[in-house]
Amino acid sequence: MRAQQRGLTPRGWGFAAAGTVVCAAGLALCLGGTTAAQAAPAAVSGGAFGVAADVSLAGINLHVPANPSVTLPSPGGSANPITGHVVSVGIGDLVSLGVLDSSTVGTPPGGTVHSTADVQGLRVAGLIGGYGDATALHVQENVIRTQCSATESGAAASTELAHVVIAGQTVAADPGPNTHIDVAGIADVVLNEQIPSGSSGSPGITVNGVHIHLLPGLKSLGGGDIYLAQSRCSITGGTSMPVGAVGGVVLTGVLGVLFTGYQFRKRRSGRGAAGDGTAA
């Protein structure tokens, strides 16, 4: 009987008491530690360019790749700005530009992306068919500048214009998002065109300082799009897990080990007690 008491009661209660203490501590951990900060952003994405175009006029297709185009390497980004610079760009006889600059920077550890695009000295000439400067897209002695930024909490963008005249109309220096100007049935011009993307925790945005959409069917001349001063920013959020969830997983494993040890001790003590009874 004394062997049974030595084998079962002291050790069994010891394991039970240890399990109780761990259960209480684990319960406090699970209840009190369920709010954890999100993980760092998994990836960043950013880019910018001064001009890009794809138009068709009088049966002639004109395609201008994004220039000067800069893009953040994915997914790690760059802690130093990636920049582009071009002087004097033309799209046939339709568009001439002076100085174009682009820049983008951002890394996941910082969790921020920032991109900018500048276009200076832009002129969109009178369109073919006798449309003089009075009705043409005429922009001279000007600056078009866009910028965007993105973090896990959101993305934002803006456009600044200086001395920009479109079809004889001087436009505001800080046009509201997606401001439309109709040019005599020739084109739809969008100022500060903003295109949100992504989702909560992974926001993004693209902004075009000026988007010229040439209307199709203009005396059979064609149509197309010209994009000026584009900036892009986006963040891919990391995966978050509450601390309480981690604590619960660890606690489950610890309790499993303790309970298994306790059951083993109990069975071993029971076998010892049975042996003692047989001997008696």
Q: Is the pLDDT of residue 14 over 80?
A: no
**How many CB atoms neighbour CB 152 within 10 A?**
19
Contacts of 1 (CB under 8 A, 6+ apart): 273, 276
Q: Is the pLDDT of residue 151 over 90?
A: yes
Instruction: Please tell me the least confidently modeled range out of 25-29, 65-69, 203-207, 215-219.
Output: 25-29
- pLDDT, greater one: 273 or 79: 79
Which range is most confident: 84-98, 141-155, 218-232? 141-155
Helix-then-strand count for the chain, H and E: 2, 15
pLDDT of residue 109: 86
Q: CA separation (Å) from 272 to 12, 89, 141, 275?
A: 14, 94, 100, 5
pLDDT of residue 127: 35
pLDDT digits 0-9 by tens, 192-222: 999 999 888 899 999 999 999 988 765 546 6
pTM of the predicted model as reported, rounded to 2 decimal places = 0.70
pLDDT digits 0-9 by tens, 32-42: 444 445 556 78
Q: Are 154 and 179 in contact (CB under 8 A)?
A: no
pLDDT of residue 134: 45
Q: How far apart are CA 133 and CA 124, in angstroms?
A: 9
Q: Are 114 and 147 in contact (CB under 8 A)?
A: yes
The residue with tokens 């568009």 is: 95
pLDDT of residue 254: 41
pLDDT of residue 27: 39
Contacts of 15 (CB under 8 A, 6+ apart): 258, 261, 262, 265
Q: CA separation (Å) from 107 to 60, 111, 148, 237?
A: 42, 6, 15, 12
Tokens of 12: 């069994």
pLDDT digits 0-9 by tens, 252-269: 444 454 445 555 455 655
Tokens of 137: 């897209």
Picking from 94, 100, 83, the residue whose alpha carbon sits closest to that of residue 54 is 94
Give me the helix-helix angle, 2-32 and 243-279, nearest 10°: 170
Burial class (CB in 10 A: 0-12, 13-18, 19+), 220: exposed
Q: Are 109 and 40 in contact (CB under 8 A)?
A: yes
